[in-house]
């Protein structure tokens, strides 16, 4: 099957499975989304959703966040992992938002990626989910599955994002990246993926990917 045919098949099947794609991270505005996405690095969405209500109860705006100490932020977010780095980033980016952007989240990749703790993937999620700007954030699920499906070489996440943007229609990006994540969690886990569940890999996957299925 050619790559364009694979792309059509993936879009069709994922649209059938996931016609609705709610944002996995609970949030109330762009600032709370930015903080939640930052916390999700090397942490599950489930754990982030358990911790953010505790954090936002104390500080749900940049102005309130900078009234906390880095140590106070760290104590709350510790279960999310990487708390020394994340707590410092949350405090510092909140200060920058106040000083440079009138306490609002900027709507540009360049401005977001200049914030402490905000890399390209985090910026892509915020641009996509907060502002509706077409983006294709690549997490471990997406990188692994698009490699398994022969959409990308799997060289690295940068290449995977380039290949995904080249192959899939731009108007599909924002929804499709969530659909792939949902499929990975439900049908194609990284550990012990099953032939009877991961039907997309069975249909269009590489020989190597199919051989990994139990």
pLDDT in tens, 31-59: 999 999 999 999 999 999 999 999 999 99
- Residue 69 and residue 140 share a domain: no
Distance (Å, whole) CA 126 – CA 84: 23
**Domain end call among 83, 104, 131:** 131
- Residue 141 and residue 127 share a domain: no
CATH number at 207 reads: 1.10.1670.10
- Residue 69 and residue 17 share a domain: no
- Residue 14 and residue 67 share a domain: no
- Residue 157 and residue 67 share a domain: no
Beta carbons of 135 and 128 less than 8 angstroms apart: yes
pLDDT at 141: 87
Structural domain of 15? 3-21+136-212
**Domain end call among 66, 96, 131:** 131
Q: What is the percent of the chain where pLDDT is above 90?
A: 97
Question: Which residue, among 113, 114, 108, has the nearest Cα to 130 in the 3D structure?
Answer: 108
pLDDT at 101: 98
Confidence of residue 115 (pLDDT cuts 50, 70, 90): very high
Q: What is the percent of the chain where pLDDT is above 70?
A: 100
Distance (Å, whole) CA 37 – CA 25: 7
Confidence of residue 1 (pLDDT cuts 50, 70, 90): confident
pTM, two decimal places: 0.93
Question: Which residue, among 124, 50, 127, 125, has the nearest Cα to 81 in the 3D structure?
Answer: 50
- When pLDDT is averaged across residues 86-103 and rounded to a whole number, the result is 98
- Residue 104 and residue 54 share a domain: yes
Active site residues: 121, 139
pLDDT at 182: 96
Question: Which residue, among 187, 191, 185, has the nearest Cα to 44 in the 3D structure?
Answer: 185
pLDDT at 204: 97
| Phi and psi angles of residue 56, each rounded to the nearest 5 degrees, phi first | -75, -15
For 134-176, write each residue's pLDDT tens digit: 999 998 889 999 999 999 998 899 999 999 999 999 999 999 9
Distance (Å, whole) CA 108 – CA 126: 10
Distance (Å, whole) CA 180 – CA 139: 10
Number of domains in the chain: 2
- Residue 43 and residue 118 share a domain: yes
């Amino acid at each position: 099957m050619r790559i364009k045919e694979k792309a059509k098949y993936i879009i069709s099947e994922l649209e059938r499975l996931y016609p609705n794609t709610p944002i996995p991270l609970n949030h109330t505005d762009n600032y709370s989304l930015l903080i939640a996405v930052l916390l999700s690095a090397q942490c599950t969405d489930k754990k982030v959703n358990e911790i953010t209500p505790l954090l936002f109860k104390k500080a749900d705006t940049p102005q309130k966040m900078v009234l906390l100490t880095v140590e106070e932020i760290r104590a709350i977010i510790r279960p999310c992992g990487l708390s020394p780095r994340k707590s410092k980033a949350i405090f510092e980016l909140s200060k920058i938002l106040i000083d440079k952007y009138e306490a609002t989240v900027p709507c540009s990749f360049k401005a977001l990626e200049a914030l402490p703790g905000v890399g390209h993937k985090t910026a892509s999620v915020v641009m996509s989910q907060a502002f509706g700007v077409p983006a294709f954030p690549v997490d471990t699920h997406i990188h692994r599955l698009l490699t398994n499906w022969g959409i990308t070489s799997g060289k690295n996440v940068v290449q995977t994002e380039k290949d995904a943007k080249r192959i899939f229609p731009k108007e599909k990006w924002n929804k499709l990246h969530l659909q792939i994540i949902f499929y990975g969690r439900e049908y194609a886990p990284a550990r012990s993926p099953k032939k009877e569940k991961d039907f997309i890999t069975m249909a269009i996957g590489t020989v190597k990917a199919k051989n990994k299925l139990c």
